[in-house]
Structures are given as structure tokens and as C-alpha cells.
Amino acid sequence: MTAVLTRRSEQTLYNPAPSDEEFTYLLRGASTAPDHGRLRPWRWVLLRGNDRDVLGDSLAEEADARGVEAERIRAKVRRAPLVAGLVFSPREGRIPEWEQLAAATCMSYSLMLLLHARGYGSIWRTGALARSAAVSELLGLAPGERLLGSLDIGTPDPAAIRNRLPLEDVSGRITAFADIRGRSADLVPAAHGTA
């Protein structure tokens, strides 16, 4: 509960970020998230250092951006020391694609909680990155794969104040089945006579 109530999307991230080995270790834990068929219909592409500049150049070129606008686009992918692109790789077969997408989503959130518990910060990013054909090619996406977005990862600002989120009242989002059946019975006209 503490991890869930204290995790935030961190806008400002610094070094260090987890190493490839630490990322893999945390991903091993996150990959235990619900996944019908244990298909693991996802993969990650990790970008650090100059890799992020290549990504930014690709986005700026695709947008035909110049000068200040191009630098703004490049700066977006340098906001964190580690940019982890999540590639959705659905598998053909009996498991519907929507369930595979749900599995990838569950794994991503589990990873964010594990990163947070380890002292790292992260933020989920989509936007132009997730829609870019140039980025898909740059990251080597196969036919049928798509980039869902990126997880920017690093160390959050230690001076930032992070209050524990309050538990919200979600009772209006829950319905007991007995209540549904009771309402349904009220709507069905009584039978006239017996056979």
C-alpha cells in the first residue's frame, strides 16, 4: 500500500538510473504480473546517453523541425537518464489481443512500483514517440509490433515533497451482484397464471 500511495509520475529525473542488469532483475519481478497464457507479448528497448540523441534527432527530422523547435523535441528525450521503450508484440492464437495488451499494461505498472520501491522515479510517456513511424523503424519494430510509449527512469529530486496520496472513496464504483439481480427482478413483469 505504501508503494502504491507514494509513487508519483516524476517529471524531473537525474542519474543514476538502474543499470541494464538491475533493470532486468526488476523486470523479472514485473513479468509475474497477470498474463493469460504467459505469452509475455512485450519487449523493452533501453536508450541511454547518446542513444537518446539519436532518438531525438529521428523525431525532429520526422516532424521537419528546425532550430528551437528541433532542440525542444530533442530535449524531451533527454529528460531522464534512461528511456525504456515498451514494444507491444501480440502473439497469434487463442489469447485475444486485448488480453495481451492488458498483460503488457499490468507488467508496466508492476515495474513502476518496483522501481519506486527501489528509490527510482519514472513517468509514462506517449505522444509523438508512440505514433512515430521513424521511431518504430529506428527501434527495429517487426510487422505487427507497436510502440506503446516509453518509461522515463532515473533518480527523483530528493528535495521534492511527496505527500502520501489519500485513499479516495470508490464505493460508487462497486455494485453487488445481488443489487443488480434485485433491480432486474423489479423490471420483469410477474408471470400470469401457471402452466
DSSP 8-state code for residue 35: -
- The pTM assigned to this predicted structure is 0.89
What are the φ and ψ backbone dihedral angles of 158, each rounded to 5 degrees?
A: -70, -20
| Cα 53 to Cα 136: distance, rounded to the nearest angstrom | 16
Domain positions in the chain are: 2-162
pLDDT for position 63: 93
Superfamily covering domain 2-162: NADH Oxidase (3.40.109.10)
At residue 185, the pLDDT reads 61
- C-alpha–C-alpha distance, residues 87 and 108, integer Å: 11
Per residue in 138-154, pLDDT (tens digit) is: 999 999 999 999 999 99
Interatomic CA distance for residues 37 and 94, integer angstroms: 9
Q: Are 17 and 122 in contact (CB under 8 A)?
A: no
Least trusted range by pLDDT, from 92-96, 124-128, 177-181: 177-181
**What distance in Å separates the CA atoms of residue 188 and residue 116, rounded to the nearest whole number?**
51
With pLDDT > 90 as the criterion, what percentage of the chain qualifies? 86
